[in-house]
Amino acid sequence: MGTWTDTAFTRMLGIELPIVLGPMGGASSTGLVAIVSRAGGLGSYGAYGLSGERILDVARDIRERTDRPFALNIWIPHDGGDDYRPDEEEFARHLAPLTGWFEELGVPLPVRPERLMPSHEEQVEAVLEARPAALSFVFGAPAPGILDRARSLGITTMGTASTVAEAVFLEQSGVDVIVASGLEAGGHRVSFLRPAEESLIGNLALIPQVADAVGAPVVAAGGIADGRGVAAALTLGADAAQLGTAFLATDESAASAPHRAKLWSTEAETTALTRAFSGRLARGIPNSLSRAADAGELPIAPFPLQGWLLGKLKAAAVEQGRTDLISLWAGQSARLLRHHDATDLIRALADDAGKRLP
């Protein structure tokens, strides 16, 4: 490899390529994480919604596949949503607009759970016990004590910013690496200092401003899907590039087959921001459910209840090919997709970026 691979980020993590697999929540797979890490990049697994026990299982599975560095990603409690516990009346009211689809798909109506999400403390303890090379997170910064414990265990911490102010906040909080997430990125907009709608900055503007504002290594995320994007991110001042949609579209991701097919279709050329699938703003391919919600024709339950309810429909919807009822997360780079095989993708990224950078 050329000198372009020798950055503050690769040195910090002990990896060979400044390429990061975006943590993709329910679409993460341990096999994909291992492929990226074995190739010299940083594989990341999105542990959103996983219990502590499941996080430990995931870490063990990754280590059975590779001895290279990898990251685990969790969400920071934000706006009180993580502890939201609807009473029976609230639960029934938010379930009511969806009952027709439960009946149509043949799925029994769900009953109100004791908790909608695993506790943040449970997830943190599991990640620290698992001791990945990196702990990445979105929607803010962990408590100082958590950062101190991670540091004492040799775990690099990576926080995600959608604005320069958020990047500065994360660095001042003691975070080791800043992920600058442009508005082009698929999935959730992870803004936390101001509303997501007021924090939409494209990467051409965001990356150099963040690089100038912080001393920590910067990882660029959003709209990067080929070697040109990797080279551009590093030229703008980033120390690594994070890719989500390009890896999500590979056969090794845990995205459903209908979701992956949509990423390769012309429909993926249009993406939109919506709260329809989780109650929080996220970018994906529009479908009839998101359009109805965005038009005010379908009420949206608060986070995380909306995602929990639709999650109960997902398996049946996927099985029945109902892409009108599932989230189709995607960034703005679908026209750049070329590789169905993750190994081919990361090889092409490295080869092409290497030709463009010294």
Binned at pLDDT 50, 70 and 90, residue 82 comes out as confident
Q: Which residues contact 37 (CB under 8 A, 6 or more apart)?
A: 15, 43, 62, 66, 68, 69, 70
What type of residue is 344?
A: D
* 3-84+117-264+335-356, CATH topology level: TIM Barrel (3.20.20)
Q: Which residues contact 253 (CB under 8 A, 6 or more apart)?
A: 24, 27, 28, 29, 32, 247, 260, 342
Binned at pLDDT 50, 70 and 90, residue 155 comes out as very high
What's the mean pLDDT in 167-179? 98
User: Using one digit for the tens of pLDDT, what is the confidence trace for 325-337?
Assistant: 999 999 999 999 9
User: Using one digit for the tens of pLDDT, what is the confidence trace for 298-354?
Assistant: 999 999 999 999 999 999 999 999 999 999 999 999 999 999 999 999 999 999 999
- Percent of the chain at pLDDT > 90 equals 97
Helix (H) or strand (E) holding 272: strand 272-274
State residue 311's pLDDT score: 97
State residue 128's pLDDT score: 98
Which residue, 286, 280, 273, 323, is CA-closest to 305?
Answer: 280
Binned at pLDDT 50, 70 and 90, residue 2 comes out as low
- Percent of the chain at pLDDT > 70 equals 99
What's the mean pLDDT in 184-205? 98
Give the separation between CA 322 and CA 108, rounded to whole angstroms: 17
State residue 111's pLDDT score: 97
pLDDT at 274 exceeding the cut of 60: yes
State residue 342's pLDDT score: 98
DSSP string covering 104-127, please? HHTPPPP---S-SS--HHHHHHHH
How do strand 282-284 and strand 240-243 relate by DSSP bridges? unpaired
Which residue, 279, 246, 280, is CA-closest to 263?
Answer: 246
Binned at pLDDT 50, 70 and 90, residue 80 comes out as confident
What pTM was estimated for this model as a whole?
0.97
Give the separation between CA 186 and CA 273, rounded to whole angstroms: 9
Query: Domain coordinates of the chain in residue numbers?
Result: 3-84+117-264+335-356
What's the mean pLDDT in 113-126? 95
List of E strands, 139-264: 156-161, 177-181, 187-188, 218-221, 240-243
List of E strands, 16-162: 19-21, 43-46, 70-75, 134-138, 156-161
State residue 108's pLDDT score: 98
**Residues linked to residue 75 through DSSP beta bridges, in sequence order:** 138
Q: Which residues contact 146 (CB under 8 A, 6 or more apart)?
A: 124, 128
What's the mean pLDDT in 237-250? 98
